[in-house]
Copies of this chain bind each other. A is one copy, B any other.
Amino acid sequence: MPSPPPGLEIRDASLTFDQRPLFHRLTASFESGSWTCLLGRSGSGKSSLLRMIAGLSLPDNHRLTLTVSDARPLRGRLAWMAQRDLLVPWQRVLDNVMLGARWRGQANAKDRQRALTLLDQVGLADKAGQWPSTLSGGQRQRVALARTLFEDASIVLMDEPFSAVDAITRLELHELACQLLVGRTVIMVTHDPQEALRLADRILVLQGEPAYLITQPTPTCRRPRPLADIELQQCQAELIARLREPAHA
């Protein structure tokens, strides 16, 4: 990576559906090169917040002031992995991984090689030539992950990227993601407190009505942290207690 990844700062983030504000004047900053995990109840607006940061359209009223630390536009420096895998059925698995390059019309042999490597790393080397419709749910999600990693972006937004894979594969993918996303500014939504504690520099919980962001402590050791880590287990108890708090507290 030539330049250091930018940090992000959001101010005044508001989202209202059907007159019900989901959150209102939210503020948060994401440091350059940090990994943030975003947790919160189902329907609290995590995916919508990610969409807002990615600059994607939302159907209703929303506003956000986004400041990028190096003041350059995000376009071309951002990778977004949606909650659904969004594989395109008319491209084979390998081409789905290098979809960005293909769609931008710049795919070359090196891209192909890199895509193959990534497929191998997510454990799907043997599926490269298949159609996405022949994949299992977890395999699809891994292809989507590989596609996101392929972009090699300095800002990475991931929405529940490991929800459909088994526990063991998930641990392996954690390692892979940590290794490949080192030095990127990552914002990741997850429902798994352990996962958050394993991966995050910083944990944010979206809570309340309208919701506000609460920062939760994270263990101090190097990521990805072993699940057996004592500090992690302490933090986990605290995090679960936080998540348990009734929404209207």
Interface of A is mostly: mixed
- Please list the 9 inter-chain residue pairs (A to B) with the smallest Cβ-Cβ separation, ordered nearest first: A42-B138, A83-B137, A166-B191, A43-B136, A42-B165, A43-B139, A163-B163, A42-B166, A168-B243
Interface residues of A in 43-70 (CB under 8 A from B): 43, 47-48, 59
- Say whether B193 contacts A167, CB under 8 Å: yes
Instruction: Check A142 for interface membership: any CB of B closer than 8 A.
Output: yes
Q: How far is the CA of A84 from the CA of B137 in the complex (A)?
A: 8
Chain A contact residues, CB within 8 Å of chain B: 17, 39-43, 47-48, 59, 83-84, 134-139, 142, 160, 163-170, 191-193, 240, 243-244
Contact B191–A164 (Cβ < 8 Å): yes
Are A167 and B191 in contact, with the CB atoms below 8 A?
A: yes
Q: List 14 A-B contacts (CB under 8 A).
A: A41-B169, A42-B164, A42-B165, A42-B166, A43-B138, A59-B134, A83-B137, A83-B164, A163-B163, A163-B164, A166-B191, A167-B192, A167-B240, A168-B243
Check A42/B142 contact, CB under 8 A, given A83-B164, A191-B164: yes
Measured between C-beta atoms, what is the minimum distance from A157 to chain B in Å?
Answer: 15
How many monomers of this protein are in the complex? 2
**A160 CB contacts on chain B under 8 angstroms:** 137, 164
Q: In the complex, which residue of chain B has the Cβ closest to the Cβ of A60?
A: B134
**Nearest B residue (CB) for A240:** B167
In the complex, which residues of chain B have a beta carbon less than 8 angstroms from the beta carbon of A84?
Answer: 137
Give chain B residues whose Cβ lies under 8 Å from the Cβ of A165: 42, 191
Beyond A42-B142, A167-B191, 18 extra complex contacts between A and B, CB < 8 Å: A40-B166, A41-B169, A42-B136, A42-B164, A42-B165, A42-B169, A43-B136, A43-B138, A43-B139, A59-B134, A83-B164, A84-B137, A137-B160, A160-B164, A163-B164, A166-B243, A167-B192, A168-B243
